[in-house]
Every structure is written in C-alpha cells, then in structure tokens.
C-alpha cells in the first residue's frame, strides 16, 4: 500500500516538472512577440512623423515658381542689356569700320604720293614728327635770326593737327626747346598757345659762341623723329659729319647701309659751310638748300 502511494506521488512530481518548462517557454515566446511588435511599432513612428512634417511644410513649389518668374525678369533685363550691348558694339564696330575706311583712303593717298609734309626754307620732309636743329651762334644775331624766326613760325603753322614739332638750338652748347631735355621735353602739336611759347622762347634766346651742332643732333635723334631740319650760317666746327656716319646708319638687307633719319640741311644767308652741309644732306638721305639774302 505504501509502495503504491509512493509511485503515484512520483508520477505527479514528474508531470509537474515537465509542465513547468512548457509554461516558461510559452511565456518567453509571448514576451518576445510583444517586444517585436513594440519594435515594429516604434520603427514606424519616424515615417509617420515625416509624413506629418511634410504635410505641415508649405508647398515648396511656390518659391520655385517665384524664383522662375524672377529669373525670367532677370533674363528679360539681361536680354535687353545684351541688346543694348550689341547695339553699342554695333556702333563701335561701325566706327572702327569707318576708321578703317579712313585709314584705307589715307593709305591710298600715300600710294598716290600724297603724304604729310613739312617745309622749311623750301626744303621738304615727309612724316608727322619733325625736329628743327637751328644755329644760335653769335653770327646768327640780327637779320638772319629774324628771318629764321619768321620761317620757323610759318613752318610750324603750316603743320596739320596730327603733326608735331620740336626745336633745338646749338652754339657752344645745346639748347632744347624751353630748356627741357627729352624725356622731359616732348613733341608739341602746332596749337596757337604752343606757337606763342615758341615765339617768346626765340625772342629771349641768348646766343653763344662757336658752331657745334653734334650734341643737339644727338638729342634730336633720341626723339626718333621722321625727319630733321639742320640750319646753319657757317662752317661746322665739330665732328658732326663723322658722328652721323655712326649714329644715323644701320645695316639693312644684303648688308646695305640704311639711313635711320633723313636730315635736310639749310645754309642761311652765307656761302661758308656750303660743302659740309651738302655732305651731311647727301650722306643722310636729305636735301641741301642754300638760302640767299632776300
């Protein structure tokens, strides 16, 4: 009897131990399912929040439309400005074309032998920039200086507005116009105020001794003129002839010697210095003009 009761009790305990793990596992699975559900629900919340935020944000297309309208306005203004620019460019281009036509006609005139010139006591020189190198020694005082001043003013007055001049006196020293040595001294156009200054400068000239033009011609060549007029009334007493053979010549094509600047010489109211001035002109692509007293 006692044995039978022990067996029954043992069976009850075994069944109880087997049922308990099943309950625990069931509970664990249930809790995991709940956690998974909570995780899934939580992960969906940001999407809902994003949707809510998107619904609360104003329509983004409105600023885009406003910007496109603004851009259209700017485009229209830019187009108008571009049209104005094109119109301005067209005007500039037409001016350039006109200038080109003018230049072409000038070139045509040159081809026909019509070029800008300057005249000085009958001597002629072509170009737009001229230097007058004049004898200011004591022998030039009086009628010779007066004749020189009249002709110099007349020669400058006859220049066209696009032509320019510079004057350098010489005696025992060099005397650039207004006592301004290049680069401070510069070519001047033939304006009335410039003529007045030149006339005053010539009237107040202090004549010196000797006839030494070499340094004055050197200053003239530094200005790189189109031509030089050299005037004197006597024999040159320095190395001007030999200096010009060095300064005013260079080797051209085929080793030919080429003159850099034409030099036109004038002998004023004298027979002294005839051969020297003639030599300077012939060796420097210029003309020699003797001027007798009037």
Work out the burial of residue 27: count CB atoms within 10 Å of its CB; fewer than 13 is exposed, 13-18 middle, 19 or more buried: exposed
Point out the least confidently predicted range of 10-24, 40-54, 220-234: 40-54
Work out the burial of residue 34: count CB atoms within 10 Å of its CB; fewer than 13 is exposed, 13-18 middle, 19 or more buried: exposed
pLDDT tens digits for range 85-134? 444 444 433 333 333 233 333 333 333 445 799 999 999 999 999 999 99
Burial 93-132 (b: 16+ CB within 10 A, else e): eeeeeeeeeeeeeeeeeeeeeeebbbebbebebebbbbbb
pLDDT tens digits for range 52-97? 443 443 443 333 323 333 333 333 343 434 444 444 444 433 333 3
Query: Span 117-291: which CATH code?
Result: 3.40.50.410
Q: Give me the residues paired with residue 230 across strands.
A: 133, 265
pTM of the model: 0.62
Q: Which residues contact 287 (CB under 8 A, 6 or more apart)?
A: 123, 124, 264, 265, 281
């Amino acid at each position: 009897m006692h044995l039978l009761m022990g067996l029954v009790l043992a069976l009850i305990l075994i069944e109880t131990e087997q049922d308990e793990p099943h309950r625990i596992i069931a509970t664990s699975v249930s809790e995991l399912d709940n956690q998974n559900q909570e995780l899934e629900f939580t992960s969906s919340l940001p999407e809902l929040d994003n949707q809510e935020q998107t619904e609360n944000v104003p329509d983004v297309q409105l600023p885009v439309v406003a910007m496109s309208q603004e851009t259209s306005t700017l485009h229209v203004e830019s187009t108008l400005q571009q049209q104005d620019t094109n119109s301005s460019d067209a005007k500039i281009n037409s001016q350039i074309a006109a200038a080109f036509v003018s230049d072409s006609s000038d070139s045509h005139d040159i081809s026909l032998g019509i070029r800008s010139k300057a005249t000085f006591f009958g001597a002629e020189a072509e170009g737009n920039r001229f230097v007058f190198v004049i004898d200011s020694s004591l022998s030039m005082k009086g009628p010779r200086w007066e004749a020189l001043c009249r002709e110099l003013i007349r020669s400058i007055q006859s220049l066209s507005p696009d032509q320019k001049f510079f004057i350098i006196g010489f005696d025992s020293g060099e005397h650039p116009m207004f006592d301004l040595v290049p680069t401070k001294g510069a070519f001047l156009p033939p304006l009335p105020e410039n003529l007045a200054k030149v006339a005053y400068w010539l009237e107040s000239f202090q004549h010196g001794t000797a006839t030494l033009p070499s340094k004055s011609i050197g200053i003239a060549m530094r200005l790189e003129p189109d031509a030089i007029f050299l005037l004197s009334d006597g024999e040159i007493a320095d190395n001007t002839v030999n200096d010009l053979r060095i300064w005013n010549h260079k080797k051209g094509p085929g080793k030919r010697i080429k003159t850099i600047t034409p030099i036109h010489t004038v002998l004023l109211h004298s027979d002294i210095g005839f051969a020297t001035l003639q030599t300077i002109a012939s060796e420097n692509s210029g003309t020699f003009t003797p001027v007798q007293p009037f």
